[in-house]
Structure 1
């Protein structure tokens, strides 16, 4: 008779990940740029918060055209961040606090200063020519002139996705900056080189990878005219091969999350099905595109019904097979309290904690972006000169050139620009928020005198302590990580409500009720049953609330979580 027990659930289902954007987290040497030693100095902040994983945005050598997502050497550390020895010290310090460290894997493209591309650029006879996508001008077109590009693909950073290289009389593909040429994953030598690099980092001790735009690595070799580049014909083959060559057979269970622009629920179910051995979870962008009009910089008000429909569809679609990643913020998104909440002084804390509560109690692994746990807000950018991000600067130049009112363009950048997430971490009320003793590479948000970690630590009702309680709840209550999800009140335009349910070994069911008021007004809702009267209040952001009844009145931006036990 077999004595094998069922495989335990992966550790990352009950874990919380914290993303660090190194340029903006903590500067140890006063040069105005965050670094690895600065992160080491601030690790106790993460330990106190209770997170399980540190995800480190790129720290590899880079010309910094796209703030490190243009990599010129995959197996070293950029001098602005420190050395490999500093990285090893960071890794040891993370592990000493019983946390894990996940690297950013950027392998859809490299920098144009990477030795691979420099060699490829030497000409058609280069042994690495086919490591990138080189193509001649369209037949009959004059190379280097408008319309001569090999196809109609557009860059995510504005303009054509093709750059003419005059010495070689050919175009190379770049779905992002012209300084980020796309690798040709059709070439097995490219894939082998990437696998060797990944294994090198895992052998060094890292605990997994967040994979940048990984669903873009497969392209139709014919490169036909089209508008969508994602999930090409060999994407599943490439990810399964990566799993075999890099992750399979390792004794430790690693974390792999794939950033996948445009991915559908149906595709994500395939990517995250454990039986297919591709990735553990994906980052999808549907819910953070709901306030986009004609592009991301054309801002529309959030419709809560759209948000419920989107997140609910992902909860249902991946149930029983795949796994969700849960996030509001990252290095590419504006601050959520300014976006979906109210960042004014009266409602900032309340709306930030409501948004956190609603997100973290879903089924999936939550990701916290640096400063989110403080309720950091968008920055008050006043002119285009305040921006540093290549996406924003390219968009401004192109839109103004088309004749769009610069004031309107700037308003879109101010609301949605990526630099909102990249202003320095606000540690205290001192000059430059305790981020640096020098001049920061991008100015600190002026509200750091009120919104900062030091003040948050001292205030039991702060956003920080609410995040700490949410993370502890996930660790303590198996229903948060493993329970089923049911959306309630799908047609209510004000209140987000759902339940989580897990049948315990003794045959009873633990259920959670989550309520969040997405408005600045009082909201009254009727619960679908009256069995919540004796439920225990687990966490909330309004003190001294009344017990639950059939009808519940929620204060502006209020969040509540209640628990009950009943027969299964």
Structure 2
């Protein structure tokens, strides 16, 4: 890519830090993280060097799904604080030039939201705010609901992503309502223009308060097809295949863009589904169409997953590379990528894609190197910057997440799974609760997260893995992340350089270049990552275009065999690069 071709945007050059408030920092000793607790740590975020905070939902909610079931979009949950606390947080972040984006959860609300309360009694103007349907004769279908009138089955065979039918029967209205997620999360009917008006008005209200954008929760589910057809090939009966990227999705998002959004806002759409068609992705991101800044897809997150929480898939490094390579190429001309390997809905990346035992530190740094040197905007999930690991769950009592508990309990009750112990190893690896254990601030009791009883157990390795100790150790994961973050402001090639993958079929090493052509010189990075517990040699004689290279950053802290960068020229000139277990190196040179 040429410097002349760069279309600069602040959100392309930024690093985003995701905060899951319930588990970040507790200020009042009730065991639940809160907004004043985040305010206490704003200086920490500034020291780390991040540019944006993505705040998971803090809205008023009965908490059926940890805040993703919203009762009032314009109020703050009591457990998290007050609107005044939120305003203080915004001011403290903006005072340090850190932007704030909020979670937008508008595929569904809580069943306690006033819209649903009015809809279930068919108040005028609210009758079809949600998806209400009459049931079917249970004798005419192969299965029936666990709840509902005798002899009546749900309107179709769709299953909830959290287990069980995707429909619940309401005794008052005597109809079924659709809930793709928890029974307390009824889906909004975006076909109703009044629903869209309300959503857009709410978004404008938050923009007026000073936020810098939205992360849009499962936004590609908001358009459902006529007739809500079944799909026997879909593990969810059609709920997934028929709801993702629905017939009017681009119309709805284009309307949102025209009425509410601005290209100076950061807008990232979470796009559910096993594989996002690139044609849809390009329309979501094209400034002349839907105009989102970027999106979250799930292709790399599903490589090691089966259809259920207790099932595992097989994957190789070449599969992971293929996903990232496809997305870089697919969006090159029209869009921008988001870069992540974990978040509040995914296990810890060092336990999933790295080695959280002997090489925890090295592999955590390597994975960070990958995310911060690919083309796109990197997202750091809280605790990632210390190499936090999965929790060693030993019983169902330790879990809190409905996405783990509901499907597993249903499967045990139906006889599909013998017991938790029979599937424990896979469930403990897959559960979203791995990401939701408290941030490990120190070696104090409860990892310094709270003076009370934490709402979810603290990972027992907190005495070894914590922010206080890592900030004292210059060779820690935390300090390495600071260095990675700073590279984006120092080198345009890290942000805007063209990505060229090497050895795409190799299942041990991931090697690529990033190239930026300037008016006076060409700048290039060579990134070499060893995804194994063994030392490897990488032959580069046919791909390295210069032996005048500097080791920009490396995760072993010694540049290979001595001081950082000391052997860079000689090793590259020799044509072979020797990488130690989970070693990452980034070379920089001008061609």
Which TM-score bucket, shorter chain as reference?
over 0.9
Alpha-carbon distance, 1:45 to partner: 1.3
Distance 1:380 1:564 in 2: 44
Alpha-carbon distance, 1:551 to partner: 1.2
Alpha-carbon distance, 1:161 to partner: 0.6
Distance 2:481 2:150 in 1: 54
The match for 1:176 is: 181
**Cα deviations by residue, 1:377-410 (Å, 9 ceiling, x for unpaired):** 0011110110000110012112212321322332
Alpha-carbon distance, 1:520 to partner: 0.7
The match for 2:389 is: 377
Q: Tell me, yes or no, if the aligned pair for 1:210 and 1:256 is still in contact at 8 Å.
A: yes
The match for 1:477 is: 491
What is the aligned-residue RMSD (CA, Å)? 1.7
Distance 1:146 1:420 in 2: 41
The match for 2:55 is: 56
Q: Tell me, yes or no, if the aligned pair for 1:208 and 1:254 is still in contact at 8 Å.
A: yes
Alpha-carbon distance, 1:25 to partner: 0.2
Question: Please, which runs of 5 or more residues in structure 1 have no aligned partner?
Answer: none
**Cα deviations by residue, 1:478-526 (Å, 9 ceiling, x for unpaired):** 11111111110111110011111111132x2111111111111111121
Distance 2:514 2:400 in 1: 42
The match for 1:116 is: 115
Alpha-carbon distance, 1:6 to partner: 9.4
Q: Tell me, yes or no, if the aligned pair for 2:138 and 2:152 is still in contact at 8 Å.
A: no
* 1:353 and 2:365 matched: yes
Q: Tell me, yes or no, if the aligned pair for 1:399 and 1:409 is still in contact at 8 Å.
A: no
Question: Please, which runs of 5 or more residues in structure 2 have no aligned partner?
Answer: 232-237, 561-566
> What TM-score do the two structures reach when normalised by structure 2?
0.92
> What TM-score do the two structures reach when normalised by structure 1?
0.95
Alpha-carbon distance, 1:146 to partner: 7.4
**Cα deviations by residue, 1:168-224 (Å, 9 ceiling, x for unpaired):** 211000000000000000001000000110000000001100000000001113212
What SS does the corresponding residue of 1:12 show, helix, strand or coil?
A: coil
Match of 1:207 among 201, 204, 212: 212
Distance 1:276 1:7 in 2: 21
The match for 1:516 is: 529
Taking the TM superposition and a 5 Å limit, the aligned residue runs for 1:25-174 are: 25-123=24-122, 126-138=124-136, 144-145=149-150, 148-174=153-179
**Cα deviations by residue, 1:362-389 (Å, 9 ceiling, x for unpaired):** 1110000000001000011110110000
Alpha-carbon distance, 1:533 to partner: 2.6
Distance 2:442 2:6 in 1: 45
Match of 2:278 among 265, 269, 274: 265
**Cα deviations by residue, 1:298-323 (Å, 9 ceiling, x for unpaired):** 12353101011111111111112111
* 1:230 and 2:258 matched: no
Q: 1:408 to 1:274 in 2, by over 3 A?
A: farther
The match for 2:474 is: 460
Q: Tell me, yes or no, if the aligned pair for 2:62 and 2:69 is still in contact at 8 Å.
A: yes
Q: 1:357 to 1:483 in 2, by over 3 A?
A: same
Taking the TM superposition and a 5 Å limit, the aligned residue runs for 1:155-554 are: 155-226=160-231, 227=238, 228=241, 229-248=243-262, 253-262=264-273, 263-344=276-357, 346-403=358-415, 404-406=417-419, 407-506=421-520, 508-527=521-540, 528-542=542-556, 543-545=558-560, 546-547=567-568, 548-549=571-572, 550-554=575-579
Task: Tell me whether 210-219 or 519-528 shows the greater mean CA deviation.
Answer: 519-528
**Cα deviations by residue, 1:33-55 (Å, 9 ceiling, x for unpaired):** 00000000001111111110000
**Cα deviations by residue, 1:404-428 (Å, 9 ceiling, x for unpaired):** 1322332222001000000000000
**Count, aligned residues:** 556
The match for 1:562 is: 587
Q: 1:315 to 1:296 in 2, by over 3 A?
A: farther
Q: Tell me, yes or no, if the aligned pair for 2:204 and 2:260 is still in contact at 8 Å.
A: yes
What SS does the corresponding residue of 1:275 show, helix, strand or coil?
A: coil
Distance 1:6 1:360 in 2: 21
Distance 2:353 2:544 in 1: 31
